[in-house]
Amino acid sequence: QGNRTLISYAREIGVSPGHLHELVRQQTGLTPGQVTRRQRVVEAKRLLTGTDLAVRQVAEQAGFGDPAYFCRFFRRETGFSPGEFRRRAGGMHHDPVV
């Protein structure tokens, strides 16, 4: 799922990519890219706090082929490295940081 594109989603539901972009923006106030990034961060946070998977494995399950890129992405989106986030969250499923 991590490699899905706006074009592939539009094709799947039978609309143009431009129309899908506008629908997503109207309904969420976000671009499709922003929605996708947020979802990937939520999934990574869930895996970091709810499992003992290594960061490399979290990256893979969150749809990232390159663990180094995942770490840069996660820091850019959250302000924390995956390891820092996990330590701060303390493995708590309902930590306010999540």
- Note the pLDDT of residue 91: 57
- Note the pLDDT of residue 4: 76
Mean pLDDT over 20-42 rounds to 94
Is residue 77 within 8 A of residue 37, CB to CB? The reply is yes
What pTM does this model have? 0.78
Question: Sorting pLDDT into bands at 50, 70 and 90, what band is 47?
Answer: very high
CA distance 24 to 31: 7
What are 78-95's pLDDT values in tens digits?
999 999 999 999 855 444
Look at residue 54 and tell me whether its pLDDT is greater than 90.
yes
CA distance 7 to 18: 9
Delimit the domains of the chain by residue range: 6-89
Look at residue 43 and tell me whether its pLDDT is greater than 90.
yes
Fold of 6-89: Arc Repressor Mutant, subunit A (1.10.10)
Mean pLDDT over 42-49 rounds to 97
